[in-house]
A and B are shown apart, each in its own frame.
Chain A
Amino acid sequence: METLTAALRSLLPHDSVITDPVRLRTYECDGLTYHRATPGVVVLPDTAEQVARVVRVCNDFGVPFVARGSGTGLSGGALPREDGVLIVTSKMRRILEIDLDNRRAVVEPGVTNLAITEAVRDRGYYYAPDPSSQQVCSIGGNVAENSGGAHCLKYGFTVNHVEACEIVTPDGDLVTLDRMDPGYDLLGAFIGSEGTLGIATKITVRLSRAPEAVTTVLAAFESIEQGGQAVSAIIGAGIVPAAIEMMDALAIEAAEAAVACRYPEGAGAVLIVELDGPRAEVDEQFARLTEICSGAFELRVAAGAAERAAIWKGRKSAFAAVGRISPAYIVQDGVVPRTSLPGVLAAIDRLSHEHGIRVANVFHAGDGNLHPLVLFDDAEPGAGERAEVVSGAILDLCIEHGGSITGEHGVGVDKSRYMPKMFSADDLDTMQLVRCAFDPRGLSNPGKVFPTPRLCGEVPGVRKGVHPLVESGKAEQF
């Protein structure tokens, strides 16, 4: 580690290489604080060329490296390696180019998601993917995780809004992957690969034109079933809102306690529906929406930006708010087909009663992306274990219903053990072919996404008994 540090110091300014144990601990986890590891050394490069040099040094020393943006990830995707280098992109936060004629911006990976919108909002444009952490999360991290947000039902995910990336490959080469280029869609494969295929150093994003009209509606229902039926009816009517969000009674209670969002009293569920587009279209859809939501006991319509923000306030603060009503909680992130929502929500309710663990539901109802908040008291013996059982059982439910173990938070280190439940050994081996093509030495964010990856020399599909890493006790097979 000392010779490695010396090599890194020869590449970067003195204050860009951190080895002080106290300062290293600042970086020991991302947004999922449950997993912690102190990085061997932290570097803060200024340029793509510096990132490439750092990666080449890691190759020379055969040590793993992990990239980290703002550290808001919720799956431990940026969990450092104690035996490796953590490459932090927080100094790389320049907006390099804004080209409204071509609806794009070129930015460095450390730029925050919201900063892009703020740079173009005055001129009627915005960057569409909007994770709840958009004020702080970095665009490089969004690319790594293929982040979404409340508006991806209509507008898609990061991968649908990135035109090109300059990346440093796991070998330390600078390569540009562009949607315009012919050949394999390596850009598409790279986005969402959670840092295992290299590090994005320059990102060209597509900017979207702000819609002419936005109407945000809050509908309060007596029960979660009624709310769910309204969601189905909206989609069935051929309306694709910009967002459909739902919260159950417990989530509303938490939001109320935290930010006094003043959602209608006594609601079993609230639905936030946002329509946007040309004014004539929004007006027509709003008329139909009002009819569909006629079962709601209260319907609020936000006229302006301030009222809209007030409606969203409760939803946006829900994750943090549950801290007010529970000492500890697990944020789960699973997906089910929209039509399975009623059955799955009922099953979650049963699980909750069986295990004596409260579950608050806050979710992107339009695309079936559940975020159950599994609440427990960490001072109570066994509660944490029961919460984990409930949390895992919810993922099993998602898989059973043809859904996914993650809709937007990523697999990271947290869910790699669930991958074999969702994918066969052949599926996973095939994904490893991509990994081996990009990263034959397995140095780029190893241990994430996949459980006990096969070594690149092995022929996929051919099982050869116990994996050498398992045999040597260095890994566990799930």
Chain B
Amino acid sequence: MLADTGVTIRQADADDAVNGVRPRWVALPETVEEISAVLRACAEQDLAAVPAGGGTKLHWGAPPERCDVLIDLCCMNSLIEHAAGDLVVRAQAGLTMDALAAALAEQGQELALDPPFKEHTTVGGTLATATAGPRAFRYGTPRDLLIGITVVLPDGTVARSGGRVVKNVAGYDLGKLFTGSQGTLGVIAEATFRLHPLPAERRWLVATTAPAGDVLLRLAASQAEPSAVEIDCPDGKEATVAVLVEGAAAEQRALGLREVLGEGTITAEAPEWWGLILRDDVLLETRFPPARAADALAAAGEAGFAFRGSAAAGRAYLELWGEVAEEELAAAVTRLRGRIEALGGRLNVLATPYEGVDRWGQVSGLPLMRRVKERFDPGRRMSPGRFLGGI
């Protein structure tokens, strides 16, 4: 039974619910071996488990078909190794992104991800949900900066892939597979990332004019090399554009970008909306070819969604600004998906309280994904039903 594993277990309460589904127990493992022990016990008893980090995105995805044990990784919050000379860090999954950033900053380095909710979101949660922030344009998403991972499979097997060197092509990259897997393949226990030196300077160029598509493209392609080109449009009408420049001579480069944009204020502080998600009871994510950013922005506004995200990287979050009933939302999503797909993009519903909304649309690789799920979790005990296609 769970208690025999020696891992700290407590009774779950209403606050532990995963998208409305209340687990029976909460396990608080402190080591990789303890995660393994919990999952082995779950396998023996056929208990369903859902891993949780800071809980900031636990209501994202469909409710689990069943959930007996919540595996809360809050106790696994150590920074294991920061090899500053190698620009590499290894951390436990439960470490918050803010705490990690603070530790790295002491050595003048950073993990160049800026996921939303970073005060509470964890290394493991960021990987499991593959959330990216504005600077994904320059540095890529979590999968691009992850160089090694330790995972625990549903049967308790501990597996590692990658390593602690940036350049490494030995074996399959399990880190890629687990990044964005939403807790359906196993538990992410530890992760190793490549780091970047903290930039000497940062400048934001901010303008409050609806941007024309070709101006956005010219900003993104500028040899001033912006790290991010973001748009915020909270009400479907007034759009703000902000461009981030990092590194040496940031001010000078920002001035050059202002010539491209035609206007704007240069500041050393990020706009207050930068990289944030304000409301996520209903949250959509759209991806689109960067050249169609203005069209995606217009389509989102007409469908009644606030748009915030990266024009340059072709990825934005859409928040709902009013209240809608289930049928209305389902219809709005279907319509908007049609428009975004016509632009060559995609629309995913990250969070919704309603069952009747098609969260993911059609995906070419779904049959292969099902086969991967069957191999990794034949007993369907890891976050069952949380992910696309009922995976």
Interface check B13, CB cutoff 8 A: no
| A-binding segment of B16-24, B160-168, B259-267, B296-304 | B160-168
A160: nearest residue on chain B (CB-CB)?
B144
Known contacts A186-B365, A406-B168, A410-B169: A101-B290 contact under CB 8 Å: yes
**B residues less than 8 Å from A424 (CB atoms):** 159-160
Range class of the B interface residue count: 35 or more
Known contacts A183-B360, A284-B249: A188-B179 contact under CB 8 Å: yes
Contact status A335-B165, CB under 8 Å: yes
Interface check A185, CB cutoff 8 A: yes
Contact status B248-A280, CB under 8 Å: yes
Contact status A406-B180, CB under 8 Å: no
A469 to B173 CA separation, bound complex (whole angstroms)? 26
A364: nearest residue on chain B (CB-CB)?
B167
Interface check A422, CB cutoff 8 A: yes
A156 to B144 CA separation, bound complex (whole angstroms)? 8
Interface string of B260-291 (1 = CB under 8 A from A): 00000000000000000000000000010111
**B residues less than 8 Å from A183 (CB atoms):** 180, 360, 363, 365-366, 369, 387-389, 391
Contact status B360-A101, CB under 8 Å: no
**B residues less than 8 Å from A428 (CB atoms):** 171
Known contacts A431-B171, A434-B172, A434-B174: A185-B166 contact under CB 8 Å: no
Contact status A280-B223, CB under 8 Å: no
A461 to B36 CA separation, bound complex (whole angstroms)? 13
**B residues less than 8 Å from A102 (CB atoms):** 289-291, 314
Known contacts A184-B372, A278-B225: A238-B179 contact under CB 8 Å: no
A-side interface residues, number (CB < 8 Å): 88
Known contacts A188-B143, A238-B200, A277-B247: A177-B375 contact under CB 8 Å: no
Q: Which of A173, A178, A404, A426 contacts B167 (CB 8 A)?
A: A404
Contact status A407-B167, CB under 8 Å: yes
A211 to B138 CA separation, bound complex (whole angstroms)? 13
Known contacts A427-B159, A434-B172: A180-B287 contact under CB 8 Å: yes
A175 to B369 CA separation, bound complex (whole angstroms)? 11
Q: Which of A152, A159, A176, A212 contacts B176 (CB 8 A)?
A: A159
Contacts beyond the supplied A184-B181, A209-B222, A281-B253: 13 A-B pairs with Cβ under 8 Å: A101-B289, A148-B167, A180-B345, A186-B369, A189-B173, A280-B252, A284-B249, A335-B167, A368-B166, A431-B161, A437-B368, A438-B371, A449-B171
A-B pairs with lowest CB-CB distance, top 4: A188-B176, A280-B249, A238-B197, A430-B159
Q: CB within 8 Å of B: which residues of A?
A: 99, 101-103, 145-146, 148, 152-153, 156-157, 159-160, 169, 173, 175-178, 180-189, 191-193, 209-212, 232, 235-236, 238-240, 277-278, 280-281, 284-285, 335-339, 364, 367-369, 402-411, 415, 419, 422-424, 426-431, 433-438, 449-450, 460-461
